[in-house]
Each structure stands twice: as structure tokens, then as C-alpha cells.
Structure 1
Amino acid sequence: MKSLFVTLLFLFACITVIAQNALPAANGYIGIGTAAPTSRLHVLDNNRNYYVDRGIPGISDDNITENYILLHVMYIGTILPTDYHVMGRFSAVRGSSVGSNRKWIVDVNTASAYNRNIGSLVSFSDRASLVTLTYNSVAYLAVSIPKMSTLYNFSFTGYAQNDSFRIVRGSEVTDVNTFNATEEIGIQGAVVIKNAATSNRLVLSGIDSTYSNIIAVTHTAIPNSQLYIGNATSSYPVITQRNANIIESYRDLHIGAANSGKIIFENGRNGTTIGSSMVIANNKNVGIGVDNPAYKLTVDGTIGARRVKVTQEQWADYVFHPNYKLPALATVSQFIKDNKHLPDIPSEKEVKERGVDLGEMNKLYLQKIEELTLYIIDLQRQVDALKENTAKFMKENNQ
């Protein structure tokens, strides 16, 4: 009787275990905690599905601009999903053992629950991105696959709930938009990105004895080639730059705008309104307070300087040349009466419309001063002659 009881107890335990698990069937799938596995190994525990090497049918099409892996339905409008999420790694292969045999890997962490859609993505080998799209009139979160050589052997390993894993073509979807991934991907500690085959490296360090929140770009083969970008704390060595955002180069600093773009320095941003302080245009004109400078330097405002040096190709000393014709004062008088300004000097209207050339105007001022000097010299000559004639006349009459 005791032996029979033990046998019955063992059979009951086996039936219970088989009811909760699935041993390898014809498709080779194994389930733990589930009797209906959907991958080589499907574990259901704590109400969460974990998959190992879950295959995704289909291949990418390199004749299509973009291909996509549907992840899951997303929240939109008043549709409130209960728990749609994907946390894990997708992989695929480009080429073959006689080709590039390149492995495509993407880590995703997405979720749509109640009234939110969140997600982040990290890709390896080829660029990928999170997008939103519409497929068969339903909105999805998806992974965008760039147009390159065909990808095949797609698989997923990780956690997923209410997923919609499927390869779709760009021609099958609409309303494709890049997903605004606001979730952080955090790394605790200094981050060093370096190509082992070169001397280039990018260092992101939040804890430093001298700097804080600094991105340091260096080339270890070139001494003093550091470029620092970040926020300087109170310990920053340059006192006037403490508690400020800085860009500092230990060598020449080249800042360029490709494709005929402008270099714009701005402050006082208010939303999308830009308060440009200085603009370097693609024609090499510089504007301060001006977005489209018309001259090599255009300033909207007052310029303060200790000295200003203007080079000139011609100066007004030609007034003193023997062949210079000094205008008669009567002619000058008539010109002033008719035009209300001096000859050769621009009128008020012309100045308001076109401004003045400082170098040219100084030359004209000097010309008028030199002309006045000649007039004065001539008047003095006349005065001296008049004095001489008067003295002579007085002397002759007194005799």
C-alpha cells in the first residue's frame, strides 16, 4: 500500500510539472512556467515572459529605403494599453561565412502603458533608431533598419509582453517619425571612447580634481591637443571662467560651418526665438547685432575703442600741389547757397541713406581744412599787402 501511495504521488507531481512546463516538442521549443513556448527557451515567471533566441521570420529588403521591426502597439489618443513592453536585444546577420558575415545588434528598452510611451535604444555595427509608425491602421513603436545589404536570421532575447515582432517594409507603413527618446542611458563613472587602432579618444568625466561635467577630446600622439567642453566649477583654474560653460582648446581652435552655412553666436534664447549676438556669414562678413552683414564688419550699435586705424590709398595733400585749382570763395558761397552743404561733402540725405566712409570722410575733412588754410594764407597775403600799401601811402602824404 505504501509503495502504491508513493507511486501515485510521483505521478501526480509529474502531471503537475508537465502542466506548468513544456518539454521539447516537434519544433524543439522548451517552456518553463508555460505550456505554450514561442521560442527555443521561453520562461514565464513573476508574470513576465523571457525569451532566448526567439526567431523573427523574414529578411530586410535592401531595395527599400527603410525596413522596420514592429515592437508593440503604442499609446495614442484615448487608447490606453495596459502593459506593452520590450526589454532585450535584437540580432541579425549581414552576409555569410564567405561574405562580410556582419552581426547587427540592437538593444532596446520600450514600454507603452496607460498614457505614456517611453523608450531608448543602443545599436552596434549599423545605425538603427526608434520610430513611431502606422501599420494596418494601428500605431506602433518600431526599430528602423537602415538601407544596406540584406539582413536575415533575426532573433530576440529578453523580456517582452504583448509584443508585435514582425519585419515590415517602408512601403507598408505610413506616418513614420523619429521617436523622442527622453529616457536616460546612464553610465556611472568616467566614459572613455577610443579606437584601439588610433590615438584618438573622447573622455566624458563628471568627477575630476580640476573640472566638472567636462567632455575632453584629446589626441594622445599630439602633446597639448586637449579640447575641453563643459561646465567649469569653482575649482576651475581661470577665475573669470568659474561657474561658466566653456570651450577651451590647448591648440588652434577651428570652428566651421560646412555647405556655406553661417557661424552664429547667440544668447538670450527665449523658446525658439534666437537672439544672435554675432554672425560670421559664409561670405566672411561679420555682423554684430546683425543677422545678414553686408560688409566685412557690420555693427548695429555703438563701437567703443581706444584707437581706430583706417588705411587709405589716397590722402588730401593734393590740395597743396601747384596744379590744384582752389575754388573761388564766390563759387563756394554760391554752392552753399544752392545746396546747403559744402562742395565734395555728402548731403544730410546721402548720409542718412548710405552712411559715411570714415576714411573717405576724414580725407574730405582734411581737404577742406587744407583749402581753408590756403584761403587764410591768401587773405594774410592780401592783408600784408594792404598794410604795406597803407604805410607807404601814409609816409608819402606826411611828407
Structure 2
Amino acid sequence: MRKTCIVTISLCIISIATYSQELVGSRITIKDGWDNVLRSVDLNRGYDLIGTYRGWDTTAIYIAGYNKTNSSLSTRKVIIGNPSLGSNYLMVNLQTGNVGIGVSNPQYSLVVGGVAHFLGSDLKLSAPSADRGNPGSARALVHYTNNTLHLNFLDDFSGGTIIGANHLFVSPQGNIGVNTMTPTNKLDVNGTIRAKEVKVESGWADFVFKPDYQLKPLSEVEQFISTNGHLPEIPTEKEVAQNGVSIGEMNAKLLQKVEELTLYLIEQKKIIEKQQQQITKMNTEIQTLKDK
């Protein structure tokens, strides 16, 4: 009798393993055969929760990979972890394909509700596409057309862009500050600039050499310096300390003074030459008188 029971049980096990038999509980079916699936059964609607599928990628295990009934009633999300216990969970929206880490309703392909730490050496962005999100949607880093990389795309962050500990700041107006957070010009630098060359495009002072230029008499210049303590049309030391100077404008002003000085020298040369002629004439006359 005991041997008969053992043989009977063995035959049952072989039968279950050989054919696609189902062990059905009140809500769970485990099927071994064509597919290996953990399946939920609810009111005659089958939901394949986890398993492998012959004809698909045989090296993969699919979670909620297939729902064979009404799509409006099928599984919509896969959650790993327990959202009610905090943000340490992962959610996949099966309708959109979006993945949320600590986020229950991700609106993009990947949304992380916390700090993300990438151990790899690179952060790669795909080639530009037609969809870069909506304006104002906090597009921090965007791979854009012409293979360009944009920080703070289209000023989504209205406060500006900061690099480092306030080392470099780009304001919403397009002003750039180096070691300053309040740039009022296209480039404000709070420190020393060292460069091989600086090219400035501005006006020049060749108007001094035009015939209609009114050169001030040296006596008038002398009086101005005596009264004001600086050259005409040149800012004072106090003004420079308060407002700085425009390199282009100041170079033009200094050139103007050099050109004016050149005109004064030419004028003095003419006077000296005339005086020299007079001296030579006088010396000739004196010598003539001596020879008599």
C-alpha cells in the first residue's frame, strides 16, 4: 500500500512537470510550460505580473510584460518598494514608459525625487530632438542644434546661472560677472585680468589734425591746469576711483592729448626756427660792424 502511494505521487509530479498544468488559488496562478509566468486572476481577467515569454527575449524576465485582456483594465504601473514608507521606491508607468525614483507620477523618461549620484565619468545626452520640454520647465542641460550644449536653456531658471561658489554668474539679461553677482555690463570682473592682447573697437582722435580744429592756446591750458589740477577733457583721480575708465574712450583721449602736444611742438619749432633766423641775421650784422 505504501509503495502504491509513492508511485501515485511520483506520477502526479511528473504529470504536472510535463504538461501545462495550473495550480489555481483564489487569486494567483503559477504556470510552467510554454511560458513561465506568475499571473494574477481577477474576475476572469488575466494579468501577467512577472515571467519569461518564449518568442521574446529568452534571457529576460518581464515584469507586467503582457496583459491579454481589456487594456483599459490592465496594469498601469510597476512599483518596487513601498511608497507609503518614504521615497525609497521605484515606479514605472507602463503607459508612458516614464520611470520615477521616489516619484509616483513621473512626467519625463526619468525623474529622481532626491540626489542623483553618477559614478560614471560621463553624462551623455542624445542628439537634439524636436521635443525639449516646455518653456519654464527647468531645462538645466540641453543638447541643442549644431551640436551645442546649453546650460539653463532659454533662461528657464529666471534667477540666472551660477558656476562654482559664485565665481561665474550669467544674469537673465545676458550680463556676465566674474566674482560678482551683480554685473551691470556685458562683462564685469571683480579682480585682475591678464591677457596676451585686448582689442577695443571705439572712436579715434584724428580730428585733432583737421584744419578746423581749435587748438587751445598753451596759456589757456596752463590756466585750466592751475585751476582744476588735471588736463582738459581728462577725468579727475576722484572720478576714476568712483567710476573707472573706458579703455577705448581713455585711449582716444590720451591720443588726442598726444596729437595736441605734437601740434604745440610743431608750433614751437616754427617759432624757434624763426628766432634762429633772426639770431643768425643779427650775428651777421654784428660781424659786419666789427669788420669795419
Same fold (TM over 0.5): yes
Residues 389 and 102 (structure 1), Cα distance of their counterparts in 2 relative to 1, 3 Å cut: farther
Distance in 1 (alpha carbons) for counterparts of 2:183 and 2:170 = 8
Q: Which one of the candidate residues 339, 344, 360 is aligned to 2:233? A: 344
Give deviations 1:279-320, integer Å, cap 9, x for gaps: 2222222222222321111111111111111112x3111111
CA separation in 2, counterparts of 1:182 and 1:260?
19
Displacement after TM superposition at 1:321 (Å): 0.9
Distance 1:130 1:398 in 2: 111
- Alpha-carbon distance between aligned partners in 1 of 2:192 and 2:201, rounded to the nearest angstrom: 21
Unaligned runs of 5+ in 2: 1-24, 29-39, 44-62, 107-111, 130-141
Per chain length, whose mean CA-contact separation is higher, i.e. which structure has more relative contact order (CA < 8 Å, sep 6+)? Answer: 1
After TM superposition, give the deviation of residue 213 of structure 1 in Å.
4.0
Letter in 2 for 1:120: Y
2:206 aligned residue: 317
Tell me how far 1:215 sits from its aligned partner: 3.7
| Residue 264 (structure 1) aligned with residue 161 (structure 2) | yes
The answer to whether the 8 Å contact 1:257/1:263 transfers is: no
User: Structure 1 residue 360: deviation in Å?
Assistant: 0.6
Count of equivalent residues: 213
Partner secondary structure for residue 76 of structure 2: strand
Provide the C-alpha distance between the structure 1 equivalents of 2:160 and 2:105, rounded to a whole number of angstroms. Answer: 34
Report the CA distance shift for 1:220/1:373 in structure 2 as closer, same or farther (over 3 A). closer
Distance 1:54 1:348 in 2: 88
Match of 1:217 among 113, 125, 129: 125
CA spacing shift, 1:331–1:105, aligned 2, 3 Å: same
Q: Give the alignment of 1:98-137 within 5 angstroms.
A: 103-110=75-82, 119-124=88-93, 125=95
- Report deviation, 1:358: 0.5
The answer on whether the counterparts of 1:118 and 1:183 sit within 8 Å (CA) in structure 2 is: no
Shift of 1:182: 7.7
Identity across the alignment (%): 30
Q: Counterparts of 1:1-399 in structure 2 under 5 Å?
A: 30=26, 40=27, 103-110=75-82, 119-124=88-93, 125=95, 212-219=120-127, 252-255=147-150, 256-259=153-156, 261=158, 264-267=161-164, 275-312=165-202, 314-399=203-288
Measured in 2, the distance between the counterparts of 1:216 and 1:130 equals: 20
Look up the equivalent residue of 1:109 and give its one-letter code. G
Structure 1, gaps ≥5 residues long: 1-28, 31-39, 42-51, 56-88, 132-142, 147-178, 185-203, 207-211, 222-246, 268-274
Partners of 2:227 and 2:88 lie apart in 1 by 79
- Contact 2:208–2:256, Cα closer than 8 Å, also in 1: yes
Residue 218 of structure 1 deviates from its aligned partner by 4.0
CA distance in 1, matches of 2:123, 2:143: 11
2: CA distance between counterparts of 1:295 and 1:183? 36
Q: What is the one-letter code of the residue matched to 2:251?
A: N
- Give the conservation status (yes or no) of the 8 Å contact 1:106–1:128: no
Is the deviation greater in 389-398 or in 369-378? Answer: 389-398
Change (3 A) 1:331 1:104: same
CA–CA distance in structure 2, aligned partners of residues 220 and 356 of structure 1: 44
RMSD: 4.5
Residue type at the aligned position of 2:147: D
Distance 1:305 1:183 in 2: 39
* Superposition TM-score, scaled by structure 1 size: 0.44
Considering fraction of residues, name the structure with more helix: 2
- Provide Cα deviations, 1:306-342, integer angstroms capped at 9, x if missing partner: 1111112x31111111111111111111111111110
Cα distance per residue 1:138-163 (max 9 Å; x no partner): xxxxx8569xxxxxxxxxxxxxxxxx
Please identify the structure whose Cα radius of gyration is greater. 2
1:119 touches 1:183 (CA, 8 Å); kept in 2?
Answer: no
Deviation at 1:381, TM superposition (A): 1.1
Tell me, in whole angstroms, the C-alpha distance in 2 between the residues paired with 1:283 and 1:385: 62
For 1:10, the equivalent position in structure 2 comes to none
